[in-house]
Amino acid sequence: MAWEATCLLSPILLVLLASGSWAHDTVLHHTVEGKTVFVRCHYDPSQRFKEKVWCQETPGKTCKILVSTNTTDAQQSKFFLQDYPDYQFFTVTITALTVRDSGPYFCGIAENLTTISVLRNIYLKLSKALSTIYRKTALFFLSSPRDSLPPGILPHSSLHLNMQKPPLF
pLDDT tens for the chain, residues 1 to 169: 333 333 332 333 333 344 334 446 888 888 899 999 999 999 999 999 999 999 999 888 788 999 999 999 899 999 999 999 999 999 999 999 999 999 999 999 999 888 899 999 999 999 997 665 555 444 334 333 444 444 444 443 332 333 334 445 5
**Is 1 within the bounds of a domain?**
no
The edge-to-edge listing of strands for the beta sheet with 37-42 is: 37-42, 89-94, 79-84, 73-76
Backbone dihedral angles phi then psi of residue 133, each to the nearest 5 degrees = -65, -45
The Cα 134–Cα 139 span in angstroms is 9
Both 123 and 134 in one domain: the answer is no
| Chain centre to alpha carbon of residue 11 | 18
Does residue 60 come out as left (phi exceeding 0), alpha (psi in the -120 to 50 range) or beta?
left
Both 113 and 69 in one domain: the answer is yes
**Is 83 within the bounds of a domain?**
yes
| Residue span of the structural domain in which 55 resides | 12-127
**Is 68 within the bounds of a domain?**
yes
Both 35 and 66 in one domain: the answer is yes
Both 151 and 121 in one domain: the answer is no
Both 56 and 136 in one domain: the answer is no
The Cα 103–Cα 126 span in angstroms is 9
Element (H or E) spanning 162, and its range?
A: none
Both 100 and 83 in one domain: the answer is yes
State pTM to two decimals: 0.63
Name the amino acid, one letter, at 61. Answer: K
Both 118 and 94 in one domain: the answer is yes
